[in-house]
Structure 1
Amino acid sequence: MLTNVNSFEKLDLIAANTWPAEQCAAVEHWLLRASQGITKRANSVLAIGSYPKATDWLARVEQFYHNQGLPAIFHVSDASPAQLDDHLMAQGYEMDTPCLMMTADCSSVAQIALERLSNQYPSSLLLDVEVSPTVTKEWLDAFLLLENYPEARRSFYQDLSERMPTSKGFVLLKDQGQIVALGTAIVEGEWAGFVNVIVHEDHRGKGLGYAILHALTAWSILQGATQQYLQVIATNVPAVTLYEKLGYQTQYGYHYRVKYDLTALVSS
């Protein structure tokens, strides 16, 4: 388990690379991200490390997001400065979306997933696994459908996928030609990060969670990864339970602080 702030900072930075924003600005070493307001990860301040030296850092952050027509959002984790959360709360920022950063050893996950599939869901071993180094229309069509996202989000996820660093793999699981699960793996050094992992709702309870995690892990190992991580909403009990069964451990939590009304700043 990671035990120090430096490790938290490193993992937060690696995870941020897997979800690059359309536009970025900086207040010293803090990264301000904006992407049409779609997803908090791509529209928030990556507030890690020490506070900026500039005393007007909060005003500069709020002005940036007002100019984008967006609420001001901070990503607050164990890598953030002490008392940042309390300070933002005192300034009217609301807590939103508590999440967990979970990590595991790649070889252990691959072994556990394969054992569970072999013992409990042997038919899942017959699924076809397809991996593309770039996002395909088939993958994106399936992702929007399975997530029940509107067509208007296509361009955001298309562009996001293209901005993701290499090595990256867009994984599909198919049962007789039908897509039943999918996900994305991004490998940076020893770490593999998994995002956009979803199982078709008509095929849940069949071990496909183990199957897609095994496929993502196996591909990542081939790219040189030895460790892997996931970011998951803390209240998503089925997902957290699945990951814990695969050997994942929670390293730390994070959440967002959101301020919707920035008009007072602009009028002052």
Structure 2
Amino acid sequence: MNDLITFYNELDQIASNTWPAEITAYLDNWQLRATQGVTKRANSVLASGDYPTTADWLPLIEQFYAGKSLPAIFQISDASPPDLDAMLHTQGYVSELPCLMMFATAQETAALAQQKLQLKLHVPITAEWVNEVDDEWLDAFLILENYDKSLKECYKGICDRISKTKGFVKLIKDNQIIAVGTAIVEGEWAGFLNVVVSEKERGQGLSYNLIYALSAWSLEHGAAQQYLQVVASNSAAVSLYEKLGYETKYRYHYRIKYDLRPFASS
């Protein structure tokens, strides 16, 4: 395994720690994750590293998900075996949701976000942090993402299972939560997720407020590097992150054999 693939593999594992599944099983280094069908990340095989040594690994994986009334899904990245994607295609798996892994240095992003904020009209915003996810943060997250309230316990479970240093930020304007985000630090790396701004408040530079808050918090907790996972088709988000110093280092997507239920989110 060359140095670049080793890097991809390590970051796949670190990123997986930011979104812990309710159930995790292993076939050698591959993680089989299941969480009641809520999000693809928490209900897919993290196919990072070499193939499992077990010859019948594919039937075993399909049986694992069928037993939980879930479709079989693979998260395939640049750290996956190079022929895995094509092989799954021949087995009836469809390709969905190309995503980017974008990286930046925390100091540069914090500085760029601060510069962007100085060019915007001043909007009185308060950033409030909690170390453990609470009802207020969860309720705001579901509303901002337009997710069903029935998903609250699943998302709470995912957030509660995060064992690394974590923080949940709320941006508040006029006593209303208008944006939320999550930062998780593992070693020198900070991962940002659940980054969402109220649709009616967009265009005021609040994304810069949010990324600045996440970056500053991460620096305080020892992270010099940071990454984001973003859907490749979300051109507005990709453009925003590029303005803040992020670069795409590698990519991933999902291969899905549809069986039983749709997913609540990506």
TM-score, scaled relative to structure 2: 0.95
Gaps in structure 1 of 5+ consecutive residues? 263-268
Q: Please give the secondary structure, in 1, of the residue aligned with 2:10.
A: helix
Q: Paired residue for 2:180? A: 182
Q: How does 1:229-240 map to 2 (within 5 A)?
A: 229-240=227-238
Match of 1:133 among 131, 134, 152: 131
Q: Could you say if the C-alpha distance between residues 201 and 94 of structure 1 is closer, same or farther in structure 2, counting changes exceeding 3 Å?
A: same
Return the alpha-carbon distance in structure 1 between the equivalents of residues 259 and 67 of structure 2. 13
Please give the per-residue CA displacement for 1:123-156, whole angstroms capped at 9, x wherever unaligned: 14x4111010001111111111111111110000
Amino acid at match of 1:207: G
Match of 2:256 among 255, 258, 263: 258
RMSD after superposition = 1.3
Q: How does 1:86-97 map to 2 (within 5 A)?
A: 86-97=86-97
Amino acid at match of 2:139: D
Matched, 1:248 2:249: no
Contact 2:121-2:204 at 8 Å conserved across structures: no
Q: Paired residue for 1:85? A: 85
Gaps in structure 2 of 5+ consecutive residues? 261-266
Return the alpha-carbon distance in structure 1 between the equivalents of residues 247 and 105 of structure 2. 10
Contact 1:165-1:186 at 8 Å conserved across structures: no
Amino acid at match of 1:10: E
Matched, 1:123 2:142: no
Deviation of the 1:175 alpha carbon: 1.3
Q: Please give the secondary structure, in 1, of the residue aligned with 2:42.
A: coil
Q: Paired residue for 1:112? A: 112
Number of aligned positions between the proteins: 259
After the TM superposition, which of the residue ranges 156-165 and 228-237 deviates more from structure 2? 156-165
Q: Paired residue for 1:74? A: 74
Q: Please give the secondary structure, in 2, of the residue aligned with 1:202.
A: helix
Contact 1:27-1:60 at 8 Å conserved across structures: no
Q: Please give the secondary structure, in 2, of the residue aligned with 1:221.
A: helix
Contact 2:70-2:259 at 8 Å conserved across structures: no
Deviation of the 1:166 alpha carbon: 2.7
Q: Paired residue for 1:266? A: none
Identity in percent: 54
Q: Paired residue for 2:226? A: 228
TM-score, scaled relative to structure 1: 0.94
Contact 2:142-2:148 at 8 Å conserved across structures: yes
Return the alpha-carbon distance in structure 2 between the equivalents of residues 241 and 213 of structure 1. 14
Q: Please give the secondary structure, in 2, of the residue aligned with 1:195.
A: strand
Deviation of the 1:200 alpha carbon: 0.6
Contact 1:24-1:33 at 8 Å conserved across structures: yes
Please give the per-residue CA displacement for 1:69-117, whole angstroms capped at 9, x wherever unaligned: 0000000000001200000001110001000000000000000000010
Amino acid at match of 2:117: L
Please give the per-residue CA displacement for 1:35-68, whole angstroms capped at 9, x wherever unaligned: 0111000000010111111110001000000001
Segments of 4+ moved more than 2 angstroms: none
Amino acid at match of 1:240: V
Return the alpha-carbon distance in structure 2 between the equivalents of residues 165 and 122 of structure 1. 38
